[in-house]
A = this chain, B = another copy of it.
Amino acid sequence: MTTKPLIDYFEKLLPLGEEEKSIVKEAFKERRVKRRHFILQKGDICKHHTFVVEGCFRMYMVDEKGKEHNLQFAIENWWITDIGSFYSEEPSRLYIEALENSTVLQLRKEDQLKLFDDNIKFNRIFRVLTENALVSAHRRILQNISSTAEERYLDFLKRYPHFFNRISNVQIASYLGVTPEFLSTIRNKIVKS
């Protein structure tokens, strides 16, 4: 039963009754995604909230020069959704790509609205999720405007140590906003010091 990690996740925020658990089981659909496959591409409307049960994803933008810029990673027990597109129902500018063979649970908008109507707990749960995401985003903005690339890299490793041997440096560089070459020299410098 793939919904177990999700229910555990919800219950850390707010305990659920048996009935609520079965609502969750009905609302979320399991899906397997192979490495290098996409669950969202530029121009699509983001139709689901996606919860990662197993595997790893990145969400990124491609600029006018064709360069990719990672907005977010997601591994087990993380969410990955272009909320802008999800809520506005406008075409996304983002891609979500599986970096490993993965399993996710997806919630369609109609089903989310049903959750919200049926039960005030889910309203609160999703509010808290969004709040937490906003707090992280604010932290990241402050860091981007106040620190050097080296400081950002060290902080990234401290904050997400489980990413260290799982996500390539190319991807990390793109998340930090530096070139892979420069990240390489940073790493070199750190080792020597």
Contacts and interface: CB of A to CB of B under 8 A. Distances in A.
A145 B83 contact: no
Contacts of A157: none
Considering the complex of A and B, which 7 residue pairs feature the smallest CB-CB distances, nearest first? A145-B177, A137-B137, A84-B135, A144-B144, A69-B146, A134-B134, A130-B130
B138 A63 contact: no
Given A127-B127, A140-B141, A146-B177, 13 more contacts: A61-B146, A69-B146, A71-B138, A87-B131, A116-B124, A123-B127, A126-B127, A130-B134, A133-B134, A141-B141, A141-B144, A144-B177, A145-B175
Contact of A83 (B135, B140, B177): B135
Interface of A: 61, 63, 67, 69, 71, 83-84, 87, 116, 120, 123-124, 126-128, 130-131, 133-135, 137-142, 144-146, 174-177
Nearest to A86: B131
A71 B123 contact: no
Contact of A123 (B123, B138, B176): B123
A139 to B, nearest CB: 8
Contacts of A116: 124
Interface centre among A63, A116, A139, A142 (most CB of B within 10 A): A142
A109 B116 CA distance: 22
